[in-house]
Amino acid sequence: MTSHNIKLIIFDFDGVLRDASWRYLYDAYKVLIETAGKDPDSFFTDVDSFRKWTNMDWHKNEERIFGGAYVPNPEFDKKFHAAYDPNIKLFPWVSDTLAQLSQKYALAMLSSSSKASIEKELGELSRYFSFVLGAEDVVRLKPDPEGVQKIVKLTGAKESETLMIGDMSVDFLAGSGAGAKTGLVKWGLGDWEDLLALKPDFLFEEPGELLRL
């Protein structure tokens, strides 16, 4: 793998640098729906039906749960993350990988998780990132390219010199929609065969391959 003139790498968080699972998302959404005074079974009944129901733009999920246009509600966000975050941790290889990549590239983070959740988990590793954008920092979540475009502007990078790395189709669409290069990982939430069909610029089957950029 060669750098292909990459100067900026934008990482997704959950599923790429932090472990994630559909089971944990399912359990957290059940808590969110119960907090809203509704029955989760009226939306989905198991992990498989949850996967079909959910949209990775979680604003749309909340619109379906609460009805009407999405309205930010910090208390509901806290309930969700209180149920979700304790189950997920950074992968053990992340610290060394970020340290090495930061010597060659500018690094940034674009996640649909809250910035508080991201920064709490990253801790001192936040120093490797020029910018960390969470859900509250954009109007439109991935797959909209807004977040990628915002980071490119903040860093002064060129789209053609930027690589967006994620684990889902929404990450690919956000990156490609902004004119950036795209990379997808095998160890996240996405279905690998579906990700292969997108034909991103880079494919990472194992975390060690990130260091070959």
**From CA 29, how far away is CA 43, in angstroms rounded?**
10
- Roughly how many angstroms between the first and final C-alpha of the chain, as a whole number? 6
Q: Residue 77: what pLDDT?
A: 87
Spatial CA neighbour of 159 closest among 176, 180, 130, 144:
180
**Cα radius of gyration (the chain):** 17
- pLDDT tens-digit series, residues 149-183: 999 999 999 999 999 999 999 999 999 999 999 99
Residue 185: name the closest of 2, 8, 19, 6 by CA: 19
Looking at domain 8-20+89-212, which CATH architecture does it have? 3-Layer(aba) Sandwich (3.40)
Q: Cα separations (Å) of 199 from 55, 111, 181, 193?
A: 22, 22, 11, 11
Mean pLDDT across 121-133: 97
For 162, the enclosing helix (H) or strand (E) is: strand 162-166
β-bridge partners, 108:
10, 131
Q: For residue range 132-147, list pLDDT tens digits in order.
A: 999 999 999 999 999 9
